[in-house]
């Protein structure tokens, strides 16, 4: 049986075998077998299992039967703040904000509901309670609304940029300044429309950053966003010649990522500050680095220390 599936937004830019495994809810090894046997392919383009799924493409499957399994629950997604109005989770990498066509992995919304957390019915179907999102490949803090009052107020706060969102990112190279602002509009790239880029026709985007630590070949920064464009941090740092470590989609060195054990961009939503929708008290929630990013940071610090010692000898 042949089936055509548009590339899900959450999987654009993924390896093809990873995308197929998520779309069908099967192991990556089984997905690779389907690709190599020609049972999973992209229309009008030859693609290997290690190839990248692009925006707007259609995947064709020739499979005997479809698998219909319930959405998996992410049990290791920590709840770091919760009351009657809002819940803030520490989203692991590989978890989508909400369900979308072709996505069979865990979601923040689905995992909360299956764990018994009550979520408001306000919002689009399948996206209820969600007023801001994190990409599948980005970890960290994400707020979901439990009450109707919270949904209306937090949606307003996010849309008017009143919420303070602080990310930590490791970028390639040595940033010249200790702090700066990148203000450049972002839109879809014409030559590769699965990516985004700085373009005069894009939407306004403002990114503030401060250096936290320097390693010569990379710089650790704290980032605050005034706007929330898709891939904003990744695009803005790439546009100034300093792509995020582990982000080959936007020009990062894959060799460095491999040496640091990274298979995603070094980016984490570290802190969320907002005015509580009911009490109006200023509320601050903080996270910590997940294991993969902490390990990569430790290796980078060790590389830098080793380089310094060699230079001193």
Whether residue 130 lies inside any domain: the answer is yes
**In 10 A of CB 260, how many CB atoms?**
21
pTM: 0.77
Whether residue 279 lies inside any domain: the answer is yes
Specify whether 218 is located in the same domain as 125. no
Quick one: pLDDT at residue 6?
83
Specify the number of domains making up the chain. 3
Q: What is the CATH number of the domain that holds 271?
A: 3.30.2350.10
- 301: closest CA among 224, 219, 244, 221? 219
Sign of CA dihedral 131, 7, 77, 231: negative
Q: What is the CATH number of the domain that holds 31?
A: 3.10.290.10
Whether residue 178 lies inside any domain: the answer is yes
- Mean confidence (pLDDT) of the chain: 91
Whether residue 165 lies inside any domain: the answer is no
Whether residue 67 lies inside any domain: the answer is no
Domain boundary among 130, 160, 190: 160
Specify whether 183 is located in the same domain as 281. yes
pLDDT band at 312 (very low <50, low <70, confident <90, very high): very low
Tokens of 303: 């590389």
Contact partners, residue 4, CB within 8 Å, separation at least 6? 43, 58, 59, 60, 61
Specify whether 187 is located in the same domain as 281. yes
Specify whether 16 is located in the same domain as 139. no
Phi, psi dihedral angles at 155 (to 5 degrees): -60, -40
Whether residue 272 lies inside any domain: the answer is yes
Specify whether 132 is located in the same domain as 15. no
Domain boundary among 18, 41, 62: 62
Specify whether 307 is located in the same domain as 178. yes
SS3 call for 107: strand
Specify whether 82 is located in the same domain as 46. no
Specify whether 313 is located in the same domain as 176. yes
Sign of CA dihedral 109, 113, 119, 125: positive
Specify whether 229 is located in the same domain as 198. yes
Whether residue 106 lies inside any domain: the answer is yes
pLDDT (tens digit, 9 = 90+) per residue, 238-289?
A: 999 999 999 999 999 999 999 999 999 999 999 999 999 999 999 999 999 9
Domain boundary among 127, 160, 193: 160
Specify whether 216 is located in the same domain as 255. yes
Examine the pLDDT at 65 and tell me if it is beyond 70: no
Determine which one of 17, 85, 90, 135 is catalytic.
135
Q: What is the rounded distance in angstroms from the CA atom of residue 278 to the CA atom of residue 15?
A: 43
Domain coverage including residue 155: 72-160
Q: Is 213 a catalytic residue?
A: no
Q: What is the rounded distance in angstroms from the CA atom of residue 185 to the CA atom of residue 206?
A: 8
The stretch 151-175 carries a mean pLDDT of 96
- Contact status, residue 117 vs residue 87, Cβ threshold 8 Å: yes
Distance of CA 87 to the CA centre of its chain: 19
Whether residue 166 lies inside any domain: the answer is no
Examine the pLDDT at 87 and tell me if it is beyond 70: yes
Specify whether 180 is located in the same domain as 301. yes
Specify whether 26 is located in the same domain as 99. no
Examine the pLDDT at 310 and tell me if it is beyond 80: no
Q: What is the rounded distance in angstroms from the CA atom of residue 197 to the CA atom of residue 206?
A: 14
Order across the sheet with 58-62: list the strands.
Answer: 2-6, 58-62, 40-42
């Amino acid at each position: 049986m042949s089936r055509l599936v548009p590339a899900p937004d959450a999987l654009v830019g993924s390896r093809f075998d990873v995308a197929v495994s998520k779309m069908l809810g099967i192991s990556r090894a089984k997905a690779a077998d389907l690709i190599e046997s020609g049972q999973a392919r992209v229309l009008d383009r030859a693609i290997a299992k290690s190839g990248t799924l692009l925006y707007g493409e259609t995947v064709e499957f020739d499979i005997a039967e479809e698998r219909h399994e319930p959405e998996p629950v992410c049990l290791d997604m920590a709840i770091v703040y919760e009351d009657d109005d809002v819940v803030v989770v520490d989203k692991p990498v590989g978890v989508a904000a909400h369900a979308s066509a072709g996505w069979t992995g865990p979601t923040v919304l689905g995992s909360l509901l299956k764990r018994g957390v009550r979520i408001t019915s306000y919002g689009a179907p399948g996206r209820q309670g969600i007023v801001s999102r994190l990409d599948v490949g980005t970890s960290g803090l994400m707020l979901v609304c439990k009450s109707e009052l919270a949904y209306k107020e937090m949606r307003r706060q996010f849309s008017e940029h009143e919420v303070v969102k602080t990310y930590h990112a490791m970028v390639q190279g040595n940033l010249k300044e200790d702090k700066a602002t990148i203000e450049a509009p972002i839109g879809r790239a014409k030559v590769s429309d699965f990516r985004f880029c700085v373009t005069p026709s894009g939407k306004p985007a403002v990114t503030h950053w401060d250096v936290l630590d320097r390693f010569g070949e990379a710089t650790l920064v704290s980032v605050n966003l005034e706007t929330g464009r898709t891939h904003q941090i990744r695009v803005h740092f790439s546009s100034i010649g300093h792509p995020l470590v582990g982000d080959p989609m936007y020009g990062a060195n894959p060799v460095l990522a491999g040496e640091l054990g990274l298979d995603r961009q070094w980016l984490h939503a570290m802190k969320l500050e907002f005015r509580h929708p009911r009490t109006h008290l200023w509320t601050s929630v903080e996270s910590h680095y997940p294991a993969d990013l902490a390990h990569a940071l430790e290796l980078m610090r060790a590389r830098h220390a080793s380089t310094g010692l060699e230079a001193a000898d």
